Chains A and B, each alone.
Chain A
Amino acid sequence: MIEVKDVYYSYPSGIEALSGVTVTICDREFVAIMGENGAGKSTLVKHFNGILKPSKGQVTVDGVATTKESVAQLSRNVGLVFQNPDHQLFSETVEEEVAFGLRNFGYRDKEIDERTTRVLDLLDLAKYRKASPFILSGGERKRVALASVLAWDPKVVVLDEPTVGQDYRQKERLRQFVLKLNEEDRSVVMVTHDVEFVADCSPRVIVMSHGRIVGDGDADDILTDEALLTKASVLPPQVTQLLWQLSDLGLPRNVLDLNKAKKLLDNVMGVRTGG
């Protein structure tokens, strides 16, 4: 469980990125953090594994303040996957890249090998095991970065912009994968601008704006709240937008799910043609 209590954070340049954020990420929870550029989303998740320490307030992971432990120690429980894989890939082979974290955490060779095999299979990277990470495509590099963190099985997985540069099929795979992670008793936190992706996953949604949390709740409520979304410059999902524009037909304004929307539209059409 990650508890953030009234946290303020200012960068050395003097810009205040977080101004009084209080939030709790429970075990086995699935959370998406959204909001405009510079809202403080990445700054917030960098507090989860202690990369940034609060200027004021407190962040605790399972009851331990992040100021008490090193980033490496905290990362054992909270695995943070950075947005740009090029900021971390350095090994000669994909296999070595994945093993790097495991070595740092002191796993034995046999277990490193087993875990590497498992995570590479999981992310469809087994065929690149002996390849250099630098020759892979952008999307594949991103998956290698993800694999290199998932390998040690952290309790909380934090993904910064996981969908950037992924095509539709990879996104769908990612969605299945993230849901599976969550089902396997892990908390998943993702920072994203991809509202359609969030709508499809339907997690708890936290909306940030100007260093504060301005909305927190189920995806159904948050992603259909027009005033809130405008405030945080988040575009509502297309399904919701469609139903908003058809609201004069008496369609509800809080629909996120494609199948539900289809049913509603079928009803309206049925009534029309029937009457």
Chain B
Amino acid sequence: MKVFEGLKFRRRETAIHRLDPRTKFVVSIVIFTLALVFTELPFLFLLFMGQLPLIYSAKVHREWGRSVRGGLTLTIIIFATNLLVGYFSNGMVITEGLVLYSFSLAFRFIVLMSSFSIFFLTTSPDDLSLALQQSHIPYEFCFAFTTAIRFVPVLANEAQTIMDAQKSRGLELEKGNFLKRIRNFIPILIPLIVGAIRRSLELAEAMESRAFGAKKERTSLYLLRMRMSDWGALAASGLVLASALYIRYFVGLSRLPLT
């Protein structure tokens, strides 16, 4: 459940928090794209280091650290899977290149995860919804999207309570063979799903009783406006993306002193 910590928004007053959500989204996408384009470890490392100033200036390093630690298990799985697949398809030999390659794929996952982490940690769900609306996405979709995000921590909490309740009835979650362990999750999943369905029905009723969708044309009290800092951030990330792509496809990595 710790992974979700990295998606929980914390209200803070920093330059990063004040950026337009659309700008932050573009910056995150740029980092995301760069991480996908490069598999070379030095570049991924550079990308990772490049995120640190953003994280520290937004003062979300503790939450970010928690989500990275939470994702560590997945990272290890990615590393192990790549290593295993490479091992078997390579004729049962482990080469230095293979280890390096598996490692960089795992590391890439951390970079991808933290790019999203920065976005969600510094963008309030309201801002996000506003950004979607102003991008002319139908309000129903915006609402569904933000509601889904908002309910992640609620659901995580509820899953914990349900696990506690079933353990209190003698359920040993960590015992038994593989099949038994999977069966152990039935008493957790059913209350969780039933609860989610019940809640969504209640939410729908509550919304309808507050006249959701009464008016086709929605107006907004707050409007998002791009500021100089936004344009600056956009220009900078555009520049980084363009030069990185140029180096990748036209110059070639081998000519750089880096590798």
Contact = CB atoms under 8 A, between A and B. Distances in A.
Q: Specify the main secondary structure of chain B where it touches its partner.
A: helix
Contact of A75 (B162, B168, B186, B198): B168
A42 to B, nearest CB: 10
A80 interface: yes
Interface stretch (B42-50, B188-196, B212-220, B224-232): B188-196
Given A75-B170, A104-B169, A104-B172, A90 B164 contact: no
Given A70-B172, A86-B191, A51 B167 contact: yes
A87 interface: yes
Contacts of A76: 170
A46 interface: yes
B167 to A, nearest CB: 4
A90 B194 CA distance: 9
Interface residues of A, number: 25
Interface in B105-162: 158, 161-162
A51 B162 CA distance: 11
A158 to B, nearest CB: 9
Contact of B167 (A71, A89, A90): A71
B253 interface: no
Given A46-B164, A71-B164, A82-B161, A88 B194 contact: no
A82 B186 contact: no
Contacts of B162: 87-88
Interface in A37-93: 46, 49, 51, 70-72, 75-76, 79-80, 82, 84, 86-90
Contacts, number: 64
A148 interface: yes
Given A87-B165, A90-B186, A72 B191 contact: no
A258 to B, nearest CB: 35
A79 B168 contact: yes
A152 to B, nearest CB: 7
A128 interface: no
B37 interface: no
A197 interface: no
B171 interface: yes
A236 interface: no
Contact of B194 (A46, A51, A86): A86
A100 interface: yes
Interface of A: 46, 49, 51, 70-72, 75-76, 79-80, 82, 84, 86-90, 100-101, 104-105, 134, 148-149, 152
8 contacts: A51-B167, A51-B168, A72-B167, A82-B164, A87-B191, A88-B191, A90-B194, A152-B170
